A and B are shown apart, each in its own frame.
Chain A
Amino acid sequence: KAGVTQTPRYLIKTRGQQVTLSCSPISGHRSVSWYQQTPGQGLQFLFEYFSETQRNKGNFPGRFSGRQFSNSRSEMNVSTLELGDSALYLCASTQTGSDYGYTFGSGTRLTVV
Chain B
Amino acid sequence: TQLLEQSPQFLSIQEGENLTVYCNSSSVFSSLQWYRQEPGEGPVLLVTVVTGGEVKKLKRLTFQFGDARKDSSLHITAAQPGDTGLYLCAGAPRGGSQGNLIFGKGTKLSVKP
Contacts and interface: CB of A to CB of B under 8 A. Distances in A.
Contacts of A102: 33, 45, 101
Nearest to B101: A98
A42 B105 contact: yes
A55 B97 contact: yes
Interface of A: 4, 31, 33, 35, 41-45, 47-48, 50, 55-56, 58, 90, 92, 97-107, 109
Interface of B: 30-31, 33, 35, 40-45, 48, 50, 88, 90, 92, 97-106
Contacts of B105: 41-42
A103 to B, nearest CB: 7
Nearest to A102: B45
Contacts of B103: 35, 42-44
Secondary structure at chain A's binding surface: helix, strand, loop or mixed? Answer: strand
A4 B45 CA distance: 13
- Most A C-beta atoms less than 10 A away, residue of B43, B44, B102: B43
A109 B41 CA distance: 10
Contacts of A106: 40-42
A55 B40 contact: no
A111 to B, nearest CB: 14
Given A42-B105, A43-B103, A99-B50, A104 B43 contact: yes
A53 B26 CA distance: 31
B100 A98 contact: yes
B76 to A, nearest CB: 19
B15 to A, nearest CB: 27
Contacts of A44: 103
Nearest to A94: B99
B60 to A, nearest CB: 20
A98 B98 contact: yes
